[in-house]
Chains A and B, each alone.
Chain A
């Protein structure tokens, strides 16, 4: 998911800058992942890789099914 991961092991100023960029990428990916915004892209990739012969659900139907499935069991606590 993270493209051109910079080399964070370099202790120079450049390295620090790269580390900051990398941190930003992680934060962005975590937010996207936690909000589920990249779920459809993942699903598409999965279908293409594993079931290329099967039809791919349209985006709105996919999100609708995701939502229903998610709230079927215990998913929020006290």
Chain B
């Protein structure tokens, strides 16, 4: 029985991958991609993950987990495994796996898809599972604490600084995506704004009217959100209201900055927690509906497997296939951020060590499937439309006519009329240069969903998809700002103790303002950049996220070596080596490349020279000061991330060397064995 369970997906994968390979030159159906992905995960889960848990981690079902030993009925609670799976998946799956693959589709569907599959099965899923295991064996200690325990003060500090930096960049880039999706779109803006009072209403309901009635409140909330999407459509036809919700990028950026500050200062029950419930249910529902819709409509991919832009001349972001596809798709393949979740709440809920494979490896496989669906949504569009939507105007000639001509000449035919007709269908003013990935993903999702649930509803589905992404992003934005604030307060209390008090309002306001101005700055510069800012910020985010993945893999590699698993250390060391190569190459190119489109320093110098020679277009000249400073700052940050990553890697190698020589004696701080008293399994 077990053998057939492995053999079937194995044969199917072989068949599917050969179909994709043989089909080169003609259109490939999305069903092949979904099947290949499903089979890859099945093999990875049944063979590789099972082998790792049995031989490398040696999970022990008789050993009591911290949830059992430290059960306090609150944060340490032994929980059925499917419930923990739901918790964990909801926590790790955010907007990242939707946006990265959309941007990386400029290389064609093949590179991104292969990286999502291979990266997750051998890298991302393994990272999540091993970190989860390490933390479970250490009473649910966080990544930062494990770094300090196992590597020393350098590792600990690096993990802390890395987490803080990635938070700032992540929030900035996500906020930029939302701003770009709302820019001059009254329908999208009014819908996204409406999510805020809806969340407050639901928060009040859950706290004051019927405490703890989460499911009931969330259902009401989701119904209201759907009403908000439809209401936005109505509002779009009222000239006065339409004008009231028509904002430019800078005003929207200020809105988001102000909103982020408020959300971080207000108590969680007001806005953050209720919106999080809404977005979790929306997320699970939409993922399910999308899978069904893709299988039902099985659209054909119109994007070629590889495009000419693998040479680095892409209009969405500059840089060659290697290393940039591996940086652009972080979430969905391997995401360092997950290691913070896997060493946070989740290990305190694990009922039995044998659940770790499902929760750590399985959740990440599912997130990877979300990334595959985003890739399908991006590549089923006409390539011409896809590029016209995602490229900044300035990158392809400056006006819609020039963009259309350039793209058609490059072999991606598209016309202004076609773009206009599509814009009209989805209820938008224009679809040119809607950078950030959200609008093109929304068009892709809308065309999949309207294929199953009503072709006339394209505009509704489009704005539903925009609202869906915005709700995710705003949750990450609030939660991230709040965590950034706690980390900052933790740091500031060394300067003056009262600053560390998390409920003392002066300290709360000061630290929140500092965090918000950190990401607000990058958001603002991104908005005033005529090239859209995404092309600068997204690679920086990718580098930061992969740096964190490198840190996490280095910590668990050290743990494996210290616990006597020297011969198996390649399980985490190989992904680490790949991450180190990719991140180092990408960061080096982003800093030192002489191509001003890729290198931050070259970009700054190019702008400076052009500003002196008065050859800059007026919109760029106005922002030149900010842009030059920002590119230099980004170069510094990229270098800084690289230094942190290598500091941790060297620390890990040093630890490994000491283990090898058995001097000084290396010990790992695992909690001692205690026999589990819980019945074998409460749930399947």
Is the A/B pair a real complex?
Answer: yes
Binding site for B on A (CB under 8 A): 1-2, 22, 26, 29-37, 39-40, 42-43, 45-47, 50, 59-60, 63-78
Apart from A2-B682, A71-B272, what 15 extra A-B contacts exist at CB < 8 Å? A2-B683, A29-B80, A29-B82, A31-B215, A33-B79, A36-B214, A39-B212, A45-B73, A59-B212, A60-B211, A63-B211, A75-B345, A77-B96, A77-B338, A78-B331
With a cutoff of 8 Å between Cβ atoms, the chain A residues found around residue B197 in the complex are none
How far, in Å, is B522 (CB) from chain A's closest CB?
A: 15
Complex contact A71–B268 (CB within 8 A): yes
A42–B344 alpha-carbon span in the complex (Å): 21
With a cutoff of 8 Å between Cβ atoms, the chain B residues found around residue A67 in the complex are 268-269, 273
Between A and B, 24 residue pairs with Cβ closer than 8 Å are A2-B682, A2-B683, A26-B82, A33-B80, A34-B83, A34-B280, A36-B212, A39-B212, A43-B74, A63-B206, A63-B211, A67-B269, A68-B268, A73-B142, A74-B341, A75-B344, A75-B479, A76-B94, A76-B475, A77-B93, A77-B96, A78-B95, A78-B96, A78-B335
Complex contact B340–A74 (CB within 8 A): yes
Q: Find the A residue at minimum CB distance from B143.
A: A74
Q: Find the A residue at minimum CB distance from B163.
A: A74
With a cutoff of 8 Å between Cβ atoms, the chain B residues found around residue A1 in the complex are 80, 682-683
Complex contact B207–A42 (CB within 8 A): no
Complex contact B340–A77 (CB within 8 A): yes
Complex contact A78–B94 (CB within 8 A): yes
CB of B91 within 8 A of chain A? yes
The 8 A CB mask of B75-118 against A (1 = contact, 0 = none) is 10101101100110011111110000000000000000000000
Interface residues of B in 217-274 (CB under 8 A from A): 218, 267-269, 272-273
CB of B482 within 8 A of chain A? yes
Interface size class of B (residues with CB under 8 A): 35 or more
How far, in Å, is B642 (CB) from chain A's closest CB?
A: 20
How far, in Å, is A6 (CB) from chain B's closest CB?
A: 13
With a cutoff of 8 Å between Cβ atoms, the chain A residues found around residue B341 in the complex are 74-75, 77
How far, in Å, is A62 (CB) from chain B's closest CB?
A: 8
Complex contact B268–A34 (CB within 8 A): no
Complex contact A78–B475 (CB within 8 A): no
With a cutoff of 8 Å between Cβ atoms, the chain A residues found around residue B677 in the complex are none
How far, in Å, is B89 (CB) from chain A's closest CB?
A: 9
Complex contact A65–B82 (CB within 8 A): no
How far, in Å, is B203 (CB) from chain A's closest CB?
A: 10
CB of B175 within 8 A of chain A? no
With a cutoff of 8 Å between Cβ atoms, the chain B residues found around residue A60 in the complex are 207, 211-212
A50–B74 alpha-carbon span in the complex (Å): 13
How far, in Å, is B487 (CB) from chain A's closest CB?
A: 9
CB of B311 within 8 A of chain A? no
Complex contact B94–A73 (CB within 8 A): no
Complex contact A37–B214 (CB within 8 A): yes
CB of B162 within 8 A of chain A? no
Complex contact A30–B80 (CB within 8 A): yes
Most chain-A CB neighbours within 10 Å: which of B82, B480, B502? B82
Complex contact A43–B476 (CB within 8 A): no
Interface residues of B in 631-670 (CB under 8 A from A): none
A64–B268 alpha-carbon span in the complex (Å): 9
How far, in Å, is A76 (CB) from chain B's closest CB?
A: 4
CB of B592 within 8 A of chain A? no
* Known contacts A77-B335, A78-B335; A35 and B74 CB within 8 A of each other: no
Complex contact B86–A34 (CB within 8 A): yes
Complex contact A73–B483 (CB within 8 A): yes
Complex contact A74–B483 (CB within 8 A): yes
Which 10 A-B pairs give the minimum distances between C-beta atoms? Answer: A46-B73, A33-B83, A78-B96, A34-B86, A76-B479, A43-B73, A35-B214, A74-B340, A71-B268, A60-B211
CB of B285 within 8 A of chain A? no
A21–B267 alpha-carbon span in the complex (Å): 41
With a cutoff of 8 Å between Cβ atoms, the chain B residues found around residue A42 in the complex are 73, 77
Complex contact A59–B91 (CB within 8 A): no
With a cutoff of 8 Å between Cβ atoms, the chain A residues found around residue B218 in the complex are 35
A37–B269 alpha-carbon span in the complex (Å): 16
How far, in Å, is A22 (CB) from chain B's closest CB?
A: 8
CB of B189 within 8 A of chain A? no
Q: Find the B residue at minimum CB distance from A25.
A: B683
With a cutoff of 8 Å between Cβ atoms, the chain A residues found around residue B502 in the complex are 72
With a cutoff of 8 Å between Cβ atoms, the chain A residues found around residue B267 in the complex are 68
Partner of A46, one of B71, B91, B215, B269: B71
Q: Find the B residue at minimum CB distance from A1.
A: B682
Most chain-B CB neighbours within 10 Å: which of A26, A50, A78? A78
Interface residues of B in 48-92 (CB under 8 A from A): 71-75, 77, 79-80, 82-83, 86-87, 90-92
With a cutoff of 8 Å between Cβ atoms, the chain B residues found around residue A74 in the complex are 163, 337, 340-341, 344, 479, 483
Interface residues of B in 537-552 (CB under 8 A from A): 545
With a cutoff of 8 Å between Cβ atoms, the chain B residues found around residue A47 in the complex are 73
A72–B482 alpha-carbon span in the complex (Å): 8
With a cutoff of 8 Å between Cβ atoms, the chain B residues found around residue A66 in the complex are 74
Complex contact B337–A77 (CB within 8 A): yes
With a cutoff of 8 Å between Cβ atoms, the chain B residues found around residue A29 in the complex are 80, 82-83, 683
With a cutoff of 8 Å between Cβ atoms, the chain B residues found around residue A34 in the complex are 83, 86-87, 90, 280
A76–B267 alpha-carbon span in the complex (Å): 17
Complex contact A77–B92 (CB within 8 A): yes
A27–B340 alpha-carbon span in the complex (Å): 28
How far, in Å, is B558 (CB) from chain A's closest CB?
A: 21
CB of B174 within 8 A of chain A? yes
Complex contact A64–B207 (CB within 8 A): yes
CB of B150 within 8 A of chain A? no
Q: Find the A residue at minimum CB distance from B216.
A: A37
Partner of B276, one of A45, A68, A76, A78: A76
CB of B684 within 8 A of chain A? yes
With a cutoff of 8 Å between Cβ atoms, the chain A residues found around residue B682 in the complex are 1-2
With a cutoff of 8 Å between Cβ atoms, the chain B residues found around residue A78 in the complex are 94-96, 170, 174, 330-331, 335, 337, 476, 545
Most chain-A CB neighbours within 10 Å: which of B142, B212, B277, B345? B212
With a cutoff of 8 Å between Cβ atoms, the chain B residues found around residue A22 in the complex are 684
Q: Find the A residue at minimum CB distance from B281.
A: A35
A4–B96 alpha-carbon span in the complex (Å): 42
Q: Find the B residue at minimum CB distance from A37.
A: B214
CB of B566 within 8 A of chain A? no
Q: Find the A residue at minimum CB distance from B683.
A: A26
With a cutoff of 8 Å between Cβ atoms, the chain A residues found around residue B87 in the complex are 33-34
Complex contact B212–A63 (CB within 8 A): yes
A34–B277 alpha-carbon span in the complex (Å): 10
With a cutoff of 8 Å between Cβ atoms, the chain B residues found around residue A63 in the complex are 206-207, 211-212
CB of B24 within 8 A of chain A? no
CB of B213 within 8 A of chain A? yes
A46–B526 alpha-carbon span in the complex (Å): 51
A21–B74 alpha-carbon span in the complex (Å): 30
A34–B90 alpha-carbon span in the complex (Å): 9
A67–B207 alpha-carbon span in the complex (Å): 10
